[in-house]
A and B are shown apart, each in its own frame.
Chain A
Amino acid sequence: MLNRRVMVTGLGAVSGSGLNVSSFWAALKAGRSAIKPFDLPIDNIKISLAATVPDFDPNKHFSSDELTILDRYSQLAVIAAQEAVDDAGLVCGEEILTGAAAIIGSGCGGKHTDEATYDRLYKQQRTRVHPLTIPKGMPSAAASMVSLHLGIKGPAFALASACASGSHAIIQGMSMIHSGMIDVALVGASDAPFTYGLLKSWDALRVLSNDTCRPFCKDRSGLVLGEGAGMLVLESEEHAKARGARIYAELAGCGMTSDAGHITRPDVEGISNAIKNALHHAEIDLNEVNYINAHGTATRANDVAETEAINRVFGDYANKLAVSSTKSMHGHALGASSALELVATTLAIHHGVIPPTANFTEADELCNLDYVPNSAREQEVNVAMSNSFAFGGLNAVIALKKYS
């Protein structure tokens, strides 16, 4: 069996900070949060904060024909995917992309389309819906539209594991390259969760903050929803080197577990095992790890459980790790968050800059790690990890190394 090394050679990001990686990274480096007062025209909801994509006019990116079939989450996916492909120096129509895979995760799929349909039927009492409702709103719509826009004709499908969807999609692409099935994969996730029904549903869970997102802090009050898409081009080492591609970092390994326990409460053992499995798979010693991009939602349950898991796995070395939650800046964009966080983790290695946990006040008494409060840290990062833990107890951890 082949066991090929997998490289990150292209990045794309649409986030609350803007429509590209440069705006995303500039905000993370500056510790600048994209969380702002919720200003979309949706009435009768309690949500007061959000990290929505700013100044986004779909008509500037897509024709009216294209928009008839592009749900908002597909629009964000296509924009980020195009950026990642451009960044990798790949061209639509050329053989490399034709043979590539597109594995696109999503936590909630085409909610804008679905909810507009339900509104029309149930509220407006109309009796027919637009004929493109199914292909526009289906959970694999973004994977299809990315494939279609970029001319990707290899394996393409969607993947769903709630807030870990991006990580699982990235791991799937990595595994396909690892095994020799393909040479190049476009992987990531997209989510656009600002619809009435979804926001009411998040309201009902009582985990949304009306203050801001303050991961690991004593006064944290929950998560703030975001939207966006994170995309990465993955490539086998030999393929990347043969075409002289820029290598941001190596995807060194992954760990995946499921809690098989509570539907929403994180399980320290499940999380710990995912981290341990990633270290083992990547053949990394504990004391080689410099940085962990945490799941860090700022809910009461997650931050304590994640801290305990890191302490349990790393022991005394846990105090020497930098651990930050970039959700404090891009918000919790559901499945897209985990992909955006891997973009951030890759750039931390590439630039030697650890993004901070923004909005940090005072650490919770049960949160005893170095959370890189408020200011980015210039520091060489040779090994980093990205944690993602989804509702339903689906855990995914990815380990990256500086390529040498």
Chain B
Amino acid sequence: MFNGHYLNNNNKMVLDKVAEVIVDTAHCKIEDVTPEAKLVALGVDSLKAITVLFELEEAFDIEIPNEIIPSIVTVSDIIEKISKTPH
């Protein structure tokens, strides 16, 4: 299981996991999942977004608070939020 220290220091691994979850959920192309990509453009609607967050909570054993969800627009927003999320 990843931990917070790991998250902060290995964003490449985090990006890989985030990309994997987004591709599994939205069936988009892996090469389209760049840090700048908007989730909506990848096919991640609001229902799929909470599914992505659920999978990431499970993968990293973290709790993502509801309050930050409206500010998640791009892939990098997810990486940034979960990297700062206490666990």
Contacts and interface: CB of A to CB of B under 8 A. Distances in A.
B50 interface: yes
A132 B50 CA distance: 9
Interface stretch (B7-15, B30-38, B51-59): B51-59
Contacts of A130: 51, 54
A interface bracket (residues with beta carbon within 8 Å of B):
under 10
Nearest to A130: B54
B57 A128 contact: yes
A97 to B, nearest CB: 25
Interface string A121-133: 0000000101110
Nearest to B58: A128
A131 B27 contact: no
Contacts of B47: 131-132
A365 interface: no
Interface in A91-128: 128
B51 A132 contact: yes
Given A131-B47, A131-B50, A131-B51, A65 B58 contact: no
Contact of A65 (B27, B50, B54): B27
A128 B61 CA distance: 10
A120 to B, nearest CB: 11
A131 B53 CA distance: 9
Contacts of A132: 47, 51
Contacts of A131: 47, 50-51, 53-54
A131 B46 CA distance: 11
Interface string A72-97: 00000000000000000000000000
Nearest to B50: A131
A132 B25 CA distance: 13
Nearest to A126: B58
B2 to A, nearest CB: 16
A68 B57 CA distance: 18
A128 B54 contact: yes
Nearest to A63: B27
A215 B62 CA distance: 55
Interface in B50-85: 50-51, 53-54, 57-58
A3 to B, nearest CB: 44
A68 B48 CA distance: 11
Contacts of A128: 54, 57-58
A131 B25 CA distance: 12
B55 to A, nearest CB: 9
A328 B39 CA distance: 53
Contacts of B51: 68, 130-132
B56 to A, nearest CB: 11
A138 to B, nearest CB: 15
Contacts of A65: 27
A305 B23 CA distance: 58
Contacts of B54: 128, 130-131
Contacts of B57: 128
A65 to B, nearest CB: 7
A2 B58 CA distance: 57
Interface of B: 27, 47, 50-51, 53-54, 57-58
10 contacts: A128-B54, A128-B57, A128-B58, A130-B54, A131-B47, A131-B50, A131-B51, A131-B53, A132-B47, A132-B51
